[in-house]
Amino acid sequence: MKTLAFTSGDINGIGPEICIKSINKIYNPGRRKIILFCPENVFESAASIIKPQFSFRILNTSDALAQKKDEVLVISGGKAKINAGVPTKMSGKISFESVLAAHKICVAGIADAMLTAPISKTAFQLAGIKYPGHTELLAELSRSKKYLMVFLSKKFICGLVTIHEPVSKISRLISIRAVRNSAESLFNTLKYDLGIREPKMAVLGLNPHAGENGKIGKEEIKIISPAIRSFGNKNISGPFVPDAFFATHSFKNYNAVLGMYHDQVLIPFKMMNFNAGVNFTAGLNIVRTSPDHGTAFDIAWKNLADAGSMIESVVWAEKIISNRRKKIDAR
């Protein structure tokens, strides 16, 4: 039995919709328990559009989480104003607080994983919340120094050395230590979270042609190559020329690819997996997955959202839970 904690994300986006659609698809009282963090009136409004195919009970707080096997618990925390398609101070505050609450019950062992619907960075800013996204927030809550944004799919797995940074800053943020830590985190994710005994990993260069022996940039020579060599016999290769690497489908020869910046690997990843990709935060003391898309304010509250990526988030979360349990049992 696994217990999964869903957060509804920004209530003015597609989060509440894809949560209900996902729970409808995966609901199985004999296999998993579900806890959903969502304001009462928001859940009820979403449920009037997408009929829940599960029994549920609404609680005001997560302080009393006694749960029958045949019902989903909706943790409300009160009511909230819905402004469909518009990020607001309230939607930022609610999405932030739901992440804190879900993380709390994961750390307490009440839930085995948290699955987070998309948040809005604009709404976070309106609410005065300093974090640029889930990854940085959860890393601080988990007190993790070696965390990594990882994207999971059956076709392609990748990680990022830098996350939501302006392109103008990327070169300054890349260091031997940063590349090494990121590569180590991704390698450990493959081995321990995904159960791959001998992972093969590729590392991309930063510059066009991977610097062309220093003619177009020296980061590959001074930073990326030394970081790769520091692993010795570990099966980590590179730095590869990014465009040729994907054009020749070389990524298929590796279990995962480490990129230097967001769009370098997210463009090919989303082209292959737009409705099936999953965002996983590696290096935390809890399991957290989410869809690899955003709030989709343009189609919010219209029953148009595809829940495929959120459903895949459940599949990957449960795989990681099982592998972490095996690791504990093996001790």
> Tens digit of pLDDT for each residue in 274-316?
888 999 999 999 999 999 999 999 999 999 999 999 999 999 9
Q: Residue 61 has what pLDDT?
A: 72
Kindly report the number of other CB atoms within 10 A of residue 303's CB atom.
11
Q: Is the pLDDT of residue 81 over 60?
A: yes
Q: Can you give the pTM of this predicted structure?
A: 0.92
Span 321-330, average pLDDT = 78
Q: Residue 32 has what pLDDT?
A: 92
| Rounded distance between C-alpha atoms, residue 146 and residue 132, angstroms | 17
Q: Residue 49 has what pLDDT?
A: 96
Mind giving me the DSSP string for 80-124? ----TT---HHHHHHHHHHHHHHHHHHHTTS-SEEEE----HHHH
| Rounded distance between C-alpha atoms, residue 200 and residue 187, angstroms | 8
pLDDT tens digits for range 129-158:
999 889 999 999 999 888 999 999 999 999
| Rounded distance between C-alpha atoms, residue 257 and residue 57, angstroms | 43
Given a contact cutoff of 8 angstroms between Cβ atoms, the answer to whether 205 and 220 are in contact is yes
Given a contact cutoff of 8 angstroms between Cβ atoms, the answer to whether 101 and 63 are in contact is no
Confidence of residue 105 (pLDDT cuts 50, 70, 90): very high
pLDDT tens digits for range 176-194:
999 999 999 999 999 999 9
Q: Residue 328 has what pLDDT?
A: 58
Q: Is the pLDDT of residue 72 over 90?
A: yes
Confidence of residue 26 (pLDDT cuts 50, 70, 90): very high
> Angle formed by the axes of helices 89-107 and 134-141, to 10°?
40
Kindly report the number of other CB atoms within 10 A of residue 256's CB atom.
26
Q: Residue 67 has what pLDDT?
A: 58
Confidence of residue 66 (pLDDT cuts 50, 70, 90): low
Q: Residue 124 has what pLDDT?
A: 96
Q: Residue 310 has what pLDDT?
A: 97
pLDDT tens digits for range 215-256:
999 999 999 999 999 998 779 999 999 999 999 999 999 999
Across the beta sheet with 158-160, the strand order is 56-59, 72-75, 32-37, 2-7, 113-116, 288-291, 278-282, 148-152, 158-160, 256-259, 201-204, 236-240
Q: Residue 39 has what pLDDT?
A: 97
Q: Is the pLDDT of residue 83 over 80?
A: yes
What domains can be seen in the chain, in order of their start residue?
1-144+284-331 (3.40.718.10), 157-275 (3.40.718.10)
Q: Residue 69 has what pLDDT?
A: 63
Q: Is the pLDDT of residue 329 over 60?
A: no
Listed range (15-24, 59-68, 237-246, 247-256) with the worst mean pLDDT:
59-68
Residue 301 token pair: 């509250």
Q: Is the pLDDT of residue 59 over 70?
A: yes
Confidence of residue 62 (pLDDT cuts 50, 70, 90): low
Q: Is the pLDDT of residue 318 over 60?
A: yes
| Contacts for 235-239: CB closer than 8 Å, 24+ residues apart | 235/198, 235/199, 235/200, 235/201, 236/183, 236/187, 236/201, 236/202, 236/203, 237/200, 237/201, 237/202, 237/203, 238/202, 238/203, 238/204, 238/205, 239/203, 239/204, 239/205, 239/206, 239/210, 239/211
Q: Please tell me what DSSP assigns to residue 128.
A: T
**CA separation, residue 312 to residues 30, 60, 151, 278 (Å):** 20, 29, 12, 7
End-to-end CA separation in angstroms for the chain: 21
Q: Residue 88 has what pLDDT?
A: 98
Given a contact cutoff of 8 angstroms between Cβ atoms, the answer to whether 295 and 8 are in contact is no
